Amino acid sequence: MIAPLAFVPVAVTLLIAPALAATVTRTEPITASAPVGGKVNINTASVKDLMMLTGVGKKVAEKIVEYRGAHGAFRKAEDIRKVEGLGDALWQRNKDRIVVK
């Protein structure tokens, strides 16, 4: 019975000063393997990297990786349009960021 009472001051502190309780300081930089707005090589990009493209979620990114595995490397950036589920609008939004190396 004594142990639950030990948590009361913390709960009171959170109720009295919620802004202080929510303050988080981060000193290390946050980085991604494919920078937002940067070029993405669709022949080597992981699912996570492909998800950095505008409008590409996990399912579409997985389809791109699966297509690449089944058909080999993309010869040109436009070939990504052959992937089922990747429409023309998505291509138009990302065509300047998609590269093939």
CATH fold for domain 40-99: DNA polymerase; domain 1 (1.10.150)
User: 98: which strand partners?
Assistant: 40
- pLDDT by residue, tens only, the chain of 101 residues: 555 544 444 444 444 555 544 554 444 443 344 556 799 999 999 999 999 999 999 999 999 999 999 999 999 999 999 999 888 999 999 999 999 99
Residue bearing tokens 């492909």 = 50
User: 86: which strand partners?
Assistant: none
Domain boundaries, the chain: 40-99
**What are the angstrom distances between the C-alpha of 29 and each of 15, 25, 26, 38, 49?**
31, 12, 8, 17, 18
